Amino acid sequence: MQPSPAPIGAVSESAYWSVETGELLRRLETSSSGLAASEAASRLTKFGRNMPASRSGPSAFAVFVRQFRSPLVLILIFAAIVSVFVGEGQEAAIIGAIVLASCVLTFTQEYGASRAMEALKQRTSRKAIVLRDGVECSIDAEDIVPGDVIRLSAGNLIPADGVILDARDFNVSEAVLTGETFPVVKSPGRSAPEASVAQRPNAVFTGTSVRSGTASMLAAETGTRTEFASIAAALERRIPETGFARGIRLFGYLMSEIMLAIVILVFFANLMLHRPLIESLLFSLALAVGLTPELLPAIISVTLSSGARTMAANGVIVRRLDAIENLGSMDLLCTDKTGTLTEGVIHLDGWFDVDGNPSTDVLRWARLNATLQTGLKNPLDEAIAGAQGEGATSNLFTKVDEIPYDFVRKRLSVAVRTKEAEDLLITKGAVQNVLEVCGFVRTANRLEPLDDAHCAAIDEKFQRWSADGYRVLGLAIRRFESRNAFGRKDETDLAFAGFLLFLDPPKQGVRETLAALAHRGIAVKVISGDNRYVAAHLAEAVGLRADRIMTGEDLSKLTKSALFARAGHTDLFVEIDPNQKERIIQALRSRGHVVGYLGDGINDAPALHEADIGISVDTAVDVAREAADIILLKQDLGVLVRGVDDGRKSFANTMKYVSITTSANFGNMISMAIASLFLPFLPLLAKQILLNNFLSDVPSLAIASDNVDPDQLRRPRHWDIGFVRRFMVSFGLVSSLFDFATFAFLLLFVHAPAAGFQTAWFVESLLTELAIVLIVRTHKAFWMSHPSRLLAWLTLAVAVVAIVIPYMPFAAWFGFVPLPLPILAGLLAITALYLMASEATKRWFFGHESHQSHRRRAGWIIDRGNASHSAYLQ
């Protein structure tokens, strides 16, 4: 009995990989020439976009609700409920209002940041080549539907689940699904219905990548119905915790420990002093809120998203927000030379026979090879096709077959049939790799055996041209009787026919760009598959060291520890096998560097993953773009320099908020905790602490837009929890010193009653928290570094509010009373003195830290040098 037909575009109830190709085409109501555009649009409406899961960010309501999941917010809500039950309705209303206002502030910042990032992600959508109405066209991979016929080639990420219709030397990396390291050969056919993913050689799957060859596939499953989507949670890339994220986590632990200790101590101390239970509880919780940088997540989100928008305007798309901080911390950049150090527009400058004479035959054969191959597109073939000179007439030759390029053979062969009805196999590739399959040389239109003398002459020309900056390829031929197919076994006993010389000159201004990177503390190392002579010539031309070179052959002989020792003393890694790139990045990271890797090729993905910051370009192959953290819209190191500056600005502005929180806030809360143990009343009521904390946070919302001093961009910035702790103690002590001076002024000189003391202390503590913003935001004297206009105006506005709030009609709600002018003048004088003392402390602190940093760095270099020397001797 025949099975009933599946619905159009759906084959989920059958194992599509076990169905004959013709039957599968019938079930999907499509053909080998693809779908009609109108039918594809209809199916897209029916089946939805081709995404493993919804890519849209959380809704506004979800983001708003998330603000109330903070433990501190929940504690305050609990305190407000308790206040209601004990008859403190006004207290509960004020606490609730402040909590709501804080959550609204953080919501507007976080939601705006998430929307901005979603808009940026749309700019890096992936493309795919499909057949629509029988014609190849490029569409968004998300628009693929069941029944589409998709063209695949080396470097593509496979965009859907389906079966192979035709293939040529087609190898697919399925590690993301199966964990299998080596690529799997794929070809048309059938697999058993019960076959696992790893046992379906005729099927390909979403998220896997093409390593070599070409193929056409029929999409059978898309979106949430793919194998990738079914285990998406398990397959999600586990990104190592960045140094910045780790610093934030440790900072959270530090503040939590301090907060917990103070809350418990103050709460029980007040109970022992026979203070009311609810009043003691609310005061202790308010102190916890005052100590906690509750706006830090929002500040980080806003700062990073603002940095991402700025970077996008400068040609850098951020795919992962944490990468911005890593980019600012980067002190070592590894890159290939093509397109970054060179113009990237390769020209074919010469075509010579074995004797070094210009040869139209070599150009003709090269053109046939370059224009008829259908595998991996590359600029060398484009340069050959566009070269001026006598070309091949296409109607005189018929393509028979091709043997695609791969990274092991490093050569590409195309077989053509001539008008004499014989087949000509044309092979081009790296000179040494072409010579490996040659048994003859073609000189003066005759064949001679390839002997040592010929090899030496070929190598001499290769070295001489390479030293002049040319990239040299070899070309060989062999004639066969007519046949239908060719394979790798036919690449033997070829006749070496000549050379192709390509020139990719240094990019204009690249020397200045490299100097700009060096000025920012970023060293550049070149990792290239090109030979040592070309790489050294380019390095000298652009101002890099050319005497510290390691070849791929040298690297393969080194142990892991020996490579770790030598990598830091090498500037040019040349003739590198693609699989060695990851080892180099790992070795450089082991030396304590924050390493960026710029790559755009098929085999760059492992190195991009291994690097602290993976950088690719918009024109890179799919697998490289997906592995990268940052995408350059233009392959230009100048764009990257601006991105580094933007990353360092984001880091600097985030640290400003941490500095503000850990200076005046910390000092004020500690002072209140101590004062509460000795005063006959609380130094501030809980609602006053919450209002103080809320108002002092308002200017921080403008931190993301603040100006950053140029000197803070000149070196990589790293999170240092020890620095944060020392900063907190140093400035906290200064703050507490002036707090106690304020207490003495209010108690001993003006004999302020409880309400007057609390009002005056509220004004003074808020003014000092605002003043410290202007001090710690810069390493310079505060009058020499101007804040952004928004930060300056918000700080001034809140300062005015702090002074006038005791005179407002609603002041009594918060327990405030009007302050006499002499008291207000005294508070302003104390604030001015505090500002001067903080400025002096800042100069001492940063001077001391700079000195200690140099000493620690010198000690680190000595220790690492000794360790490296020991490893090298092994």
* Active site positions, annotated: 336
CA separation for the pair 499, 357 (Å, rounded): 10
Residue 327 CA to residue 643 CA, distance in Å, equals 8
Tokens of 598: 């710029």
Neighbours of 107 (CB within 10 A): 19
d(CA 76, CA 71): 9
| CB distance 525 to 588 below 8 Å | yes
Longest dimension (CA), the chain: 115
CA dihedral (506, 465, 334, 306) positive or negative: positive
Nearest residue to 155 via CA among 582, 605, 633: 605
> Which distant-in-sequence residues (6+ apart) come within 8 Å of 419 by Cβ?
396
> CA angle, corner 510, sides to 504 and 516, nearest 5?
160
Joined together, the tokens standing for residue 449 give: 């055996």
At residue 570, the 3 state secondary structure works out as: coil
Assign 617 to helix, strand or coil: strand
Secondary structure (DSSP) of 833-874: HHHHHHHHHHHHHHHHHHHHHHHHHHHHHHHHHHHHHHHHH-
The 3-state DSSP class for residue 203 equals strand
> What phi and psi, each to the nearest 5 degrees, are found at residue 592?
90, 5
788's CB contacts (< 8 A; 6+ apart) are: 702, 705, 706, 707
In the sheet that holds 630-632, the strands lie side by side as: 316-318, 630-632, 613-617, 595-598, 332-335, 523-527, 572-574, 549-551
Place of tokens 């690492």: 864
- DSSP single-letter state for residue 18: G
Strand partners, 472: 501
Within 336-397, strands assigned E span: 347-353
Q: Where are the alpha helices (DSSP H) in 175-242?
A: 175-178, 227-230, 232-235
Residue 551: how many other CB atoms lie within 10 Å:
16
Q: Could you tell me which residues are beta bridge partners of residue 501?
A: 350, 472
Residues 613 and 242: their CA atoms lie apart, in Å, by 10
Q: For the chain, give percent helix, strand, coil, nearest 5.
A: 55, 15, 30
Of 545, 524, 586, nearest to 340 by C-alpha is 524
DSSP string for residues in 160-178: SEEEEEEEEEEEEE-HHHH
